[in-house]
């Protein structure tokens, strides 16, 4: 099988072949806007050809930096929020064992990669500092502006720890910055302090940034072969940007089907997997879909579940709750590991019918059973089949979803690449925290706080 493919077996009751034909001209227009740069926000499409046109010199520098960090650090603290950390965390979880970050140093080949600056929880930061203890660590801070509240606070704290532990000179040699090429507070600090630095391209927004230095450095530090990751993405670019018709393009099929369903009232999309180390794939996808499509009172609401675990909490609602749900299921054909159900003479646990079978066999049958139950119960199911959990397949999958969701945005007549709603909460937070320049907004908020 190919690295990633689309399966519509769970849609036959819900979408007629004629409907796919009817939406095709709109898909063609949306794809043309994306590919030709005629749609709004076209300046933020640099991710489209990134897998083939990335900066080779910087890519090699990232690999050398990762090698250095692996040699001198037990922990890499990655500081960022939103797209500045979700892609890296997703990839590291997806490509490693579930307990990769919990292994003791004596059993590790590569550093722990831990994330900070993605909340304002002092308890989390305290626990992270306690976990680091006296072990050697480095810091990778990711931010275009260098002034986003959550990561900026975290960077101050961990920079201070580095200086205290190593002194100013060695601390600077343990700080790795991914930021704007010319502007922003972090770029100024790089120039002043001599930190290692990498460029976040102007034409790539946070949720599309995992295949640039934002994601590549921490992913490489974890021991992943980022050449293979980019190779998978490059293959996806070749496959998905050269086929102009839905019939030959599985990413366009996904965009088409989910939008046909959306127009029929299926407004909530549940992203599901059957592997616990794919939870952050869902978190990354939720930001990609939510920030891309949720504008102008439009857009599919993205949510997620990890099955079969969440079947014991959400299964009843999915089966018989409001019929505004559709599902996207990521199915792994070749899981990296397997276990066999042991044989026992006694059958008190009533597992005799499964002994000798593998857990992967049971997991796939659970997926099949759920798809049948949900589609019969009124929930359309889209299945994205992936070959395995390797860097090549993940690179392909990342590009697959980026391409499909961007097309979906244009299909709904919005700018897929901005996020104006995010600025509203930020401005209110700045006002309430007393940031200079927000005094009038603070007065306005205070005046209406009891409304």
Would you name the residues annotated as active-site residues? 291, 426
Q: Across 11-111, where does the E strand assignment appear?
A: 75-79
Whole-number Å distance between alpha carbons of 219 and 228: 12
Q: Are 20 and 260 in contact (CB under 8 A)?
A: yes
444 upstream amide cis, omega within 30 of 0: no
Q: Which two tokens stand for residue 314?
A: 């959400």
Please provide residue 376's backbone torsions phi and psi, each rounded to the nearest 5 degrees. Answer: -70, -25
Q: Where are the alpha helices (DSSP H) in 350-437?
A: 359-376, 391-411, 420-433
Whole-number Å distance between alpha carbons of 353 and 334: 23
Whole-number Å distance between alpha carbons of 259 and 430: 37
- Rounded to a whole number of angstroms, the distance between the first and last alpha carbons of the chain is 59
Residue 404's nearest CA partner among 249, 203, 228 is 249
Whole-number Å distance between alpha carbons of 233 and 238: 9
Residue 195's nearest CA partner among 135, 140, 129 is 140
């Amino acid at each position: 099988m190919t690295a990633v493919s689309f399966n519509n077996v769970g849609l036959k009751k819900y979408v007629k072949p004629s409907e796919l034909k009817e939406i095709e001209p709109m898909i063609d227009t949306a794809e043309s806007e994306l590919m030709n740069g005629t749609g709004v926000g076209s300046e933020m499409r640099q991710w489209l050809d990134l897998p083939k046109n990335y900066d080779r010199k910087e890519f090699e520098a990232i690999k050398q930096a990762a090698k250095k960090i692996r040699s001198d650090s037990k922990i890499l603290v990655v500081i960022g929020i939103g797209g500045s950390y979700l892609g890296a965390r997703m990839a590291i979880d997806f490509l490693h064992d579930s307990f990769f970050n919990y292994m003791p140093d004596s059993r590790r080949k590569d550093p722990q990669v831990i994330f900070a600056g993605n909340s304002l929880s002092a308890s989390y930061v305290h626990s992270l500092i306690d976990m680091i203890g006296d072990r050697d660590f480095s810091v990778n801070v990711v931010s275009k502006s260098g002034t986003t509240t959550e990561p900026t606070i975290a960077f101050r704290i961990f920079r201070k720890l580095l200086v205290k532990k190593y002194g100013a000179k060695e601390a600077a040699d343990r700080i790795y910055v991914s930021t704007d090429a010319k502007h922003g507070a972090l770029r100024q600090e790089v120039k002043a302090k001599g930190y290692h630095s990498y460029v976040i391209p102007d034409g790539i927004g946070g949720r599309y940034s995992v295949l640039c230095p934002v994601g590549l450095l921490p992913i490489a530090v974890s021991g992943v072969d980022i050449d293979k990751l980019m190779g998978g993405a490059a293959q996806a670019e070749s496959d998905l940007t050269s086929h102009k018709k839905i019939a030959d393009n599985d990413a366009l099929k996904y965009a088409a089907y989910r939008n046909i369903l959306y127009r029929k009232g299926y407004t909530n999309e549940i992203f599901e997997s059957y592997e616990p180390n794919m939870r952050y794939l869902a978190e990354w996808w939720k930001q990609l879909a939510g920030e891309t499509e949720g504008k102008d009172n439009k857009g599919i609401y993205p949510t997620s579940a990890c099955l079969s675990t969440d079947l014991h909490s959400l299964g009843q609602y999915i089966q018989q709750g409001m019929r505004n749900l559709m599902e996207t299921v990521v199915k792994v054909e070749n899981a990296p590991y397997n276990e066999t159900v042991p044989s026992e003479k006694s059958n008190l646990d009533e597992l005799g019918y499964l002994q000798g079978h593998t857990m992967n066999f049971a997991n796939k049958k659970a997926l099949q059973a759920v798809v049948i139950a949900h589609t019969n119960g009124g929930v359309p199911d889209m299945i994205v089949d992936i070959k395995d959990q390797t860097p090549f397949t993940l690179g392909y999958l990342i590009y697959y979803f980026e391409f499909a969701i961007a097309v979906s945005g244009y299909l709904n007549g919005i700018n897929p690449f901005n996020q104006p709603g995010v600025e509203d909460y930020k401005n209110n937070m700045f006002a309430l925290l007393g940031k200079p320049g927000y005094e009038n907004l603070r007065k306005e908020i205070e005046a209406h706080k009891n409304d």
